[in-house]
Amino acid sequence: MYKIVRKEFLTPTIALMEVDAPRMAASAQPGQFLIVRVHDKGERIPLTVCDFDRKKGTVTIVTQIVGASSRRICHLEQGDSFVDFAGPLGQPSEFIHMPEEELRSKRFIFIAGGLGTAPVYPQVKFLHQAGASVDVIIGAKTKDMVIFEEEMKAVCDNLYICTDDGSYGNKGLVTDMLKELLDSGEKYDQAVAIGPMIMMKFVALAAKPYNLPLIVSLNTLMVDGTGMCGACRVSVGGKTKFACVDGPEFDAYLVDFEEAMRRQGMYRNIEQESDHKCKIGLNS
């Protein structure tokens, strides 16, 4: 059993949980995910690793209430336990393999949409600790949906917040802010976008004319997290890949976003009405 040692609601529908999982905390890396089950007959739910503390032996997850399974997760309280908390799974972010000397010479920009801010955080934290320069754009519908603002400020050089309704930060889309920065002469060696599939598609369209290398995370496609169900099958560079075992991160310019969005849409009604999947980035 994996005990919840801390829980807080970041918004009325988004819960953060710190879970006692020493073995996972010892090996987790930015970009990876895990599988949870609330009880022994419960659904397998893939969630991206939001943070980990190797000394305390804890792993942090963030979940948004969407369907029955995510509701059950969010209704757990501090002191309750998950029957399964398996991982880390998937491939870690490529930059963790770079020497620190190389990272210190790089400049990154992250574009986080909604709950995608949660998996962006450990990546930015890792790069900050390695001495890289990192800017972050966070997009949300309203001020109340902005998460991890203070945590992100502590580990990035510049933080830009965009809200659809203009209730906080800059009014408009994350793509508008990205283009504004690039047009003003800002230079980046690598961009990473994590969030709703449609957002990542348009970030790719916005970034491509600037020849800005861009990585996206397809974690929102995952269901069972092992590659056996085939639900996260996607075309990348004309080849079939599985987000859960080959990714979840891929070169944005090689991803067939239209196919990915069609596949994602196949499960939307089931997700909202029954004990089906729950995914991080768009709707954990």
Mean pLDDT over all residues of the chain? 90
Could you give the CA distance from residue 133 to residue 165 in angstroms, rounded to a whole number? 30
Lowest-confidence range among 62-66, 106-110, 175-179, 190-194? 62-66
Tokens representing 112? 């986080």
In the three-class reduction of DSSP (H, G, I as helix; E, B as strand; rest coil), residue 251 is classed as: strand
**Neighbouring-strand partners of residue 52:** 59
Instruction: Band the pLDDT of 267: cuts 50, 70, 90.
Output: low
Q: Are 110 and 138 in contact (CB under 8 A)?
A: no
More confident residue, 222 or 73: 73
Bridge partners of residue 236, in order along the sequence = 239, 255
At 198, list the tokens. 């449609």
- pLDDT > 70 fraction of the chain, expressed in percent and rounded: 93
| Domains assigned to the chain | 2-90 (2.40.30.10), 94-270 (3.40.50.80)
- Spatial separation of the C-alpha atoms in residues 71 and 90, rounded to whole Å: 25
How far does Cα 187 stand from its chain's mean position? Answer: 24
Q: What is the C-alpha to C-alpha distance for residues 154 and 220, in angstroms, rounded to an integer?
A: 27
Q: How far apart are CA 153 and CA 151, in angstroms?
A: 6
Give yes or no for residue 234 having a pLDDT over 60. yes
Kindly tell me if the per-residue pLDDT of 43 is higher than 70: yes
* Cβ partners under 8 Å of residue 90, min gap 6: 31, 32, 33, 225, 244, 245, 247, 248
Q: Give the side-chain half-sphere CA count within 13 A for 227.
A: 12
Selection from 11, 4, 12, 23 nearest residue 61 by Cα: 4
Count the alpha carbons within 13 Å of 188 in the hemisphere toward its beta carbon. Answer: 27
Residue with token string 């793509």: 175
Q: How far apart are CA 252 and CA 213, in angstroms?
A: 8
Cα–Cα distance, 208 to 255 (Å, whole number): 13
| Residue 34 near residue 85, CB atoms below 8 Å | yes
pLDDT surpasses 70 at 217: yes
